């Protein structure tokens, strides 16, 4: 039955079960687990209800099955009525609550656990991280170390992902030192997370060091470096890594090409970009996705080749998404092509009339084209959007202290100084409001 379960042959497993002359608790548990692992929770429940001798193994299997099916409330009911809850039961329900975004409830249960192990810690650390509670995830990781529990590759990966969201070099270096001391330095999975963490913090020398120290780098490792360089405007470095990857006999995938096309766009390498785009299908049989087409439109638009960008859009094998037209519109704003810009603006309004940032771009092109009636209409529409839009916010860390800023907020203690410095910088760099400069 177990072999049939692994192959997804559930009905064959059930046939064997039905033909058994004498069924013990092991056979019942194997069959229930077979249903759970193959996403047939209703069949598993049917057998569970018929099982005369349920054990903690049976209940744990059902709890994990309901969690997997997204039915956390039923898993919680089963957990509540369990006579003997073991660490597996507690960990399963904590995991389920995290998946349901009930992280605070998960933490309360975690604190009640009579016994915790490395899997339990990993579950709650990952739960906080995946639900956006970055600081809480890192704090729980530190508590685990104080508790004396040895971190696993999973807990380290979650902590590194949380640290990456902070985009701060110092904490990133501290966490990397921790994992290196504990013997995870050459681990590919953890190393990939560390590369991503350092890249987000803009620390490329650290990212490169981690990459070089990997014993068996995989395609994810290479792609992390390529995308990292590309997203931070280091196009030449990204292309060098791309070619080094090919020399190392790794076959690029769609992510590799997204990075290298992005690099060509930022470096203004139009012909090289066209060659890369062509080689996707010709050399590696990779069908370009919408994101690759968007990179090409951006490449043409940034280089001022707006007619070529438009012709490229017209030849796309799918209906262009809003991002495609926004990219073209941005190029038209930069290079002053009002006719094509108005055309792109009309396409954007058809596809996403309630996108405030897109509407702002459209207003700019309408102003330059002298379409004042449309400008007035768009501004009225924008005022309605602003009334229901959430305030944008940003933050910066200075000397270990986070400073949060929201749109239109003048409550920061150093507001006067901040605006004074911005005015000085604007004067020194000759910043003006006209986008054509």
DSSP code per residue over 423-435: HHHHHHTT--S-T
d(CA 168, CA 354): 34
> Two tokens at 361?
């771009």
pLDDT given at position 388: 47
Shared domain check, 43 and 10: yes
The answer as to whether 368 is a domain residue is: yes
The helix-helix angle for 254-267 and 270-284 (nearest 10°) equals 170
Shared domain check, 309 and 278: no
Shared domain check, 410 and 322: no
pLDDT given at position 400: 58
The answer as to whether 271 is a domain residue is: yes
The answer as to whether 84 is a domain residue is: yes
Report the number of distinct structural domains present in the chain: 4
What value does the mean pLDDT take over residues 405-414? 67
Question: Among 284, 309, 324, which residue terminates a domain?
Answer: 284
Shared domain check, 84 and 33: yes
Taking 60 as the threshold, does the pLDDT of residue 334 lie above it? yes
pLDDT given at position 62: 92
The answer as to whether 97 is a domain residue is: yes
Shared domain check, 94 and 3: yes
What value does the mean pLDDT take over residues 84-98? 91
Whole domain around residue 97: which residue ranges?
1-115
Q: For the chain, what's the residue count?
A: 437
Shared domain check, 367 and 258: no
pLDDT given at position 348: 86
Chain center to CA of 338: 36
Taking 90 as the threshold, does the pLDDT of residue 341 lie above it? no
Backbone angles phi, psi at 172, to 5 degrees: -65, -45
pLDDT given at position 428: 58
The answer as to whether 160 is a domain residue is: no
The answer as to whether 182 is a domain residue is: no
Closest CA to 206 of 243, 172, 235, 232: 172
% of the chain exceeding 70 in pLDDT: 90
Shared domain check, 267 and 336: no
d(CA 334, CA 342): 13
Shared domain check, 357 and 265: no
Helix (H) / strand (E) containing 395: strand 393-398
d(CA 162, CA 185): 18
Closest CA to 261 of 242, 277, 237: 277
The three-state DSSP-derived secondary structure of 79-97 is HHHCCCCCHHHHHHHHHHH
d(CA 405, CA 422): 15
pLDDT given at position 1: 66
pTM over the 0.75 mark = no
pLDDT given at position 138: 92
> Two tokens at 177?
């030192």
Contact call for residues 326 and 358 (beta carbons, < 8 A): yes
Question: Among 115, 142, 163, which residue terminates a domain?
Answer: 115
Other beta carbons within 10 Å of 46: 13
Q: Per DSSP, what are the bridge partners of residue 405?
A: 394
pLDDT given at position 395: 64
Contact call for residues 189 and 217 (beta carbons, < 8 A): no
Taking 70 as the threshold, does the pLDDT of residue 407 lie above it? no
Shared domain check, 93 and 19: yes
The pLDDT tens digits of the residues spanning 95-139 come to 999 998 999 999 999 999 999 999 999 999 999 999 999 999 999
The answer as to whether 137 is a domain residue is: no
The answer as to whether 177 is a domain residue is: no
pLDDT given at position 337: 87
Contact call for residues 220 and 211 (beta carbons, < 8 A): no
Shared domain check, 102 and 15: yes
pLDDT given at position 409: 62
pLDDT given at position 249: 94
Question: Among 115, 140, 165, which residue terminates a domain?
Answer: 115
What radius of gyration do the chain's Cα atoms show? 28
pLDDT given at position 98: 93
Decide which of 41 and 182 is more confident. Answer: 41
Shared domain check, 376 and 404: no
85: domain CATH number is: 1.25.40.10
At residue 437 the predicted structure's pLDDT band, cuts being 50, 70 and 90, is very low
Shared domain check, 233 and 330: no
Span of 111-120, 127-136, 177-186, 355-364 with lowest mean pLDDT: 355-364
Taking 90 as the threshold, does the pLDDT of residue 324 lie above it? yes
Supply the mean pLDDT for the chain: 86
pLDDT given at position 275: 96
The pLDDT tens digits of the residues spanning 245-255 come to 999 999 999 99
């Amino acid at each position: 039955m177990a072999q049939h379960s692994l192959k997804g042959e559930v009905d064959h497993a059930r046939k064997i079960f039905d033909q058994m002359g004498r069924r013990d608790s092991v056979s019942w548990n194997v069959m229930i687990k077979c249903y759970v692992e193959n996403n047939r929770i209703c069949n598993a429940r049917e057998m569970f209800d018929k099982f005369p001798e349920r054990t903690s193994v049976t209940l744990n299997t059902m709890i994990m099955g309901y969690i997997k099916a997204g039915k956390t409330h039923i898993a919680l009911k089963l957990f509540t009525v369990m006579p003997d809850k073991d660490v597996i039961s507690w960990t399963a329900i904590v995991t389920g609550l995290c998946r349901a975004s009930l992280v605070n409830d998960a933490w309360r249960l975690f604190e009640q656990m009579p016994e915790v192990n490395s899997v339990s810690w990993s579950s709650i650390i990952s739960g906080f991280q995946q639900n956006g509670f970055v600081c809480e995830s890192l704090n729980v990781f530190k508590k685990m170390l104080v508790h004396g529990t040895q971190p696993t590759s999973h807990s380290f990966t979650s902590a590194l992902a949380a640290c990456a969201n902070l985009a701060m070099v110092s904490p990133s270096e501290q966490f990397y030192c921790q994992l290196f001391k504990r013997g995870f330095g050459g681990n590919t999975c953890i190393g990939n997370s560390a590369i991503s963490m350092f890249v987000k913090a803009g620390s490329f020398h650290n990212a490169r060091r981690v990459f070089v120290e990997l014993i068996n780098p995989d395609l994810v490792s290479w792609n992390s470096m390529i995308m990292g360089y590309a997203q931070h405007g280091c196009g030449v470095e990204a292309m060098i890594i791309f070619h080094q990857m090919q020399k190392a006999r790794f076959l690029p995938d769609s992510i590799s090409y997204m990075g290298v096309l992005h690099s060509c766009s930022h470096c203004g390498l139009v012909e090289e970009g066209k060659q890369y785009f062509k080689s996707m299908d010709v050399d590696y049989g990779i069908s370009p996705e919408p994101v690759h087409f968007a990179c090409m439109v951006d490449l043409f638009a940034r280089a001022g080749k707006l007619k070529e960008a438009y012709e490229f859009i017209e030849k796309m094998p799918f209906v262009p998404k809003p991002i495609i037209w926004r990219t073209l519109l941005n190029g038209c704003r930069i290079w002053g092509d009002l006719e094509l810009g108005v055309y792109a603006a009309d396409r954007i309004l058809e596809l996403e009339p309630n996108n405030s940032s897109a509407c702002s771009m459209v207003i700019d092109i309408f102003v330059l084209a002298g379409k004042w009636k449309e400008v007035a209409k768009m501004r009225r529409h924008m005022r309605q959007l602003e009334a229901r839009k959430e305030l944008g916010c940003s933050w910066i860390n200075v000397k270990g202290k986070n400073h949060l800023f929201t749109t239109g907020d003048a409550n920061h203690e150093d507001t006067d100084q901040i605006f004074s410095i911005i005015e000085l910088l604007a004067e020194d760099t000759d910043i003006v409001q006209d986008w054509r400069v």
